[in-house]
Structure 1
Amino acid sequence: MDEQLFWGQQQKRVASSLRKEKECERIVNGVCYAFAKSVLGMKISKAAQEVEKSVDTQSHQWTYNHKIVIPYKVGWFSQMKALLWRSWMSILRKPEVTKSKLIIVIVEAFFFSIIYYGQILNQYGIKNLDGVFAFYVTNVTYQNVYGTINTFCSEIPLFTKENKDGMYRTDTYYLSKIICDIPISCVLAMLYPAIGYYFIGFNLEFSRYLTALLIMALVSQTALGAGYIISVILPRLEHADAGINILLFPLLIFGGFFLSIGSVPTYLQWLADLSWFKYGYEMFMINQWYGIPYIQCNTNFSESSDCIFDGAEVLSTASIYPDDFWIAFGCLIILTIAFRVIAFLCLLLRTYRNE
């Protein structure tokens, strides 16, 4: 009997709760309806409709990512200014890195200057200067490619996160990065001939000296572009290290140091055309030997026919022609721009995939 009484009381409580719930719902709906019809409610509704229309008409200012609206915080120029400042400050915050690179370059430049000091324009000098050209182009290439992947690879995760959060665009980040890298890479590359040019005994004309500096700057920028491509495609450092060897080894082979430029097989000519080693080597050779009227023949050469007697003969032996200078110059410019564009497109594709 007590159990029946208990359950009866529970049913009455539930029924009472349901009646109260319905009564509360009726009251709440009445209040909401009254507020919607009030002057304040109608003003709020009208303002909300205007905001919705404004968003629809200005949708080009927003970036859509899986139906989530992500606005950039500031405009293009403000992003560029802030990222340039940040990129430059990241360099200044680590002066020991720049100092170590500078010390290494100076030591290497003086070391090679001592080894090749006072070259004479004779048959031995031709071969020795060939070795200096190979060292300059190869060393600057590896210096810039490795330097790029060591910094760029570590920054990609942070860039991906900040770009996804709408903090800045891909192009502003990339442009700020390459702009800040240009002066340091050019200065470090030009230090090699700046220190060793007259020590070693290159062509004494001052215009040739300035041209040698320009060649090194161009080679460094082309190598820097190749480093960007490797860093974006292979963002993990261990993979990028392997990618360097895969990319650079064939280009180095067809650079003119180990294989004569004129003996490259036709079906591999495209590799030689992509080799900035080749263009840098050609420009150095022309800058050094063009216009040299006489080269000594060493007394211990068995036959005078083995001797090369002037600069034009040095160039023709290497399958290089004076007119190739400006072609090589243009090709380095094209490769420098093309590599950076390719790296940017790869970075842009990477951001879309991450979204």
Structure 2
Amino acid sequence: MVNINYYPTRFSDNEGKTVTWADITVKVPLAKKSLLQCLKIVREPRKTKTILSEGKILVNGEQLSSTDMHCISRYVHQDDLFIGTLTVREQLIYSLGLKRCETTLIGVTNRLKGISCGESKRLAFACEILTDPLILFCDEPTSGLDSFMAVQVVNCLKDVARKGKTIITTIHQPSSQVFNMFDNIGFACPETYNPADHIIKTLSIMQDEREFLERVDKIRTKFEKSTFGVMLYRKSHGQESLQKVIGNKDLKKRKMYAVSFSSQFRILVRRSFLTRMRDPLLLKVKLIQVIVTALIIGIVNFQTQITGPTIMNLEGLLYNTIRDMNFIFLFPSISVITSELPIFLREHCCARIYSASAYYLAKSIAEVPEYIILPFCYSVIVYFMSGLYLAVKAFVIYCSVTTVVTNLAISIAYAGACIFGEDSLALTYMPCFILPNLVFGGFYISFHSIPIYYQFISYVSWFRFGFEALQVNQWLNYKTIPGCEDDATEVANSATNYCPAFSGKGLLVRRGMGTSEIVILINLAILFVMLIGFRIIGLIALLLRVRLTK
């Protein structure tokens, strides 16, 4: 037997002694996690205190590294994390005793109805045994289940064990029926006594109580001298090769991931695309939000006539377009990304199903159709309702700018979510980065009027490049401004006679903007480079987060 204390965590056993999985009983819940960390199964976050352990972990007499252990084993976590918009069949590729619910959505709490807790727990087992591991670690598989469902889950474990797999389970307060399903507990107890309570009470050690220490040491000594203890020692120290268990597979030659990068990318793209299509908050609600916002803007600026006094209205409309493409998509996307991070970290760091770069690239590609369609819907409504310059070329440029700005906003959301990791932190600090770019975007203050010590903000503001592209696209087509042909009207300062300039080019010069169509292409190129740049920043932040999690 082995005794595990937590003052802090200490695994106490005499040097050279053997511990068998069936005989480990823990009196502190946190100790089981420390035990799994010592077994190199649970990756320990660097922010937690390091677990120090001595000795060797042998599998059939051979010592394995953490990487080797992950190659032949899988770990079923206590809490089930799935992408709730997938069906069970899609999660598993094929079903494993879940045929009744194989086409049912897994479900999202308070949003999508899905499978039950028991089915979710069995799905967690199925996901881990798809790769046919030799060893399966299960962290409290009956947690949160009633006694009936707990029995069903343990029965699933026994079915897997009968197929020659090694199953190591930590279980908390099992019912009598579940407790009796385990073949080897290692210590007898009275028939009328709860077995789990008996073992915990028997092995509990009170600090500075010599009587308790002597009792536990006596139990350990008798076990070592028993027939079963001697047999266990010989078996664990024998020369049986691990090769007999894993066949002809060489652990050193195993790849980090089971499939190639292209296969990972293809599967993840499909999964991400299905997730986007099925979650009502990710598509339907956002589509309604875009349409309603565009209709409000279109109604307020409905068929605005081009005159001197209305120029400011249309300039505000163009800047509002850039602002909407940011705020409609940027901040909601942060929460969506951070909500998937725990699933990603489990599938990448613990299960090693796919690489971080494959996940990041696949998620980026899968969202492209959505972030082309949504800004296009906004552009169609606003452009034709507000009375902007009607021409196919001008409309195409308008749609191109809104699409690029939208995807740039998503890139910024990716970077912020991967850097901060939590939506609360990201939503707190991201406005400090976005608002200066908004203020110096060229609408509230002209480019040539910005103080020299603030001009660097203007040169990195995506609001500026988007607004300037839309301004040039709109006003360069007007050789004259209707009602502003007379010199006298330029200096008149009233609501009906004010004219900021005589021509569209004059309006651009007044704001310090370019006066040729090449400016549009240059600004679009700059926006696209910024889009790629923020995506790369997000990927680097994600890789660093993975590294810090290991």
When normalised by structure 2's length, the TM-score is 0.52
- SS for the counterpart of 1:105 is helix
1:347 aligns to 2:542 (yes or no): yes
Paired position in structure 1 for 2:295: 110
Paired position in structure 2 for 1:262: 448
Q: Provide the alpha-carbon RMSD of the alignment.
A: 2.9
- Aligned in 2, Cα 1:232/1:109: closer, same or farther, shift over 3 Å? same
CA distance in structure 1 between the aligned counterparts of 2:436 and 2:307, rounded to whole angstroms? 31
Runs of 5+ in structure 1 lacking a partner?
1-17, 63-70
**Per-residue deviation, 1:97:** 3.8
Native 8 Å contact 1:137 1:216 kept in 2: yes
**Per-residue deviation, 1:188:** 1.2
CA distance in structure 1 between the aligned counterparts of 2:242 and 2:263, rounded to whole angstroms? 35
- SS for the counterpart of 1:124 is coil
Q: Which has the larger radius of gyration?
A: 1
**Residue of 505, 512, 526 corresponding to 1:312:** 505
1:139 aligns to 2:318 (yes or no): no
- SS for the counterpart of 1:182 is coil
Paired position in structure 1 for 2:525: 330
**Per-residue deviation, 1:258:** 1.1
CA distance in structure 2 between the aligned counterparts of 1:142 and 1:46, rounded to whole angstroms? 58
Runs of 5+ in structure 2 lacking a partner?
1-224, 493-498
- Aligned in 2, Cα 1:351/1:296: closer, same or farther, shift over 3 Å? same
**Residue of 365, 368, 386 corresponding to 1:200:** 386
**Residue of 454, 466, 470 corresponding to 1:284:** 470
Letter in 2 for 1:141: N
Native 8 Å contact 1:106 1:192 kept in 2: yes
When normalised by structure 1's length, the TM-score is 0.79
CA distance in structure 2 between the aligned counterparts of 1:254 and 1:201, rounded to whole angstroms? 27
Letter in 2 for 1:332: L
Paired position in structure 2 for 1:124: 309
1:86 aligns to 2:86 (yes or no): no
Native 8 Å contact 2:303 2:387 kept in 1: yes
Letter in 1 for 2:510: T
Paired position in structure 2 for 1:190: 376
Identity of aligned residues (%): 26
1:271 aligns to 2:457 (yes or no): yes
Paired position in structure 1 for 2:259: 74
**Per-residue deviation, 1:131:** 1.1
Instruction: Answer with 112-121 or 151-160: which moved more.
Output: 112-121
Native 8 Å contact 2:360 2:539 kept in 1: yes
Letter in 2 for 1:324: V
- SS for the counterpart of 2:367 is helix
Structure having the higher helix fraction is 1
Letter in 1 for 2:506: E
**Per-residue deviation, 1:55:** 4.6
User: Which one has more relative contact order, counting CA pairs under 8 Å at least 6 apart?
Assistant: 1
1:7-26 equivalences under 5 Å are none
Native 8 Å contact 2:270 2:366 kept in 1: no
**Per-residue deviation, 1:45:** 9.9
The structure 1 segments of at least 4 consecutive aligned residues displaced by more than 4 Å after TM superposition are: 44-48
- SS for the counterpart of 1:123 is coil
Letter in 2 for 1:269: Q
Native 8 Å contact 2:414 2:538 kept in 1: yes
Paired position in structure 1 for 2:417: 231
CA distance in structure 1 between the aligned counterparts of 2:490 and 2:283, rounded to whole angstroms? 50
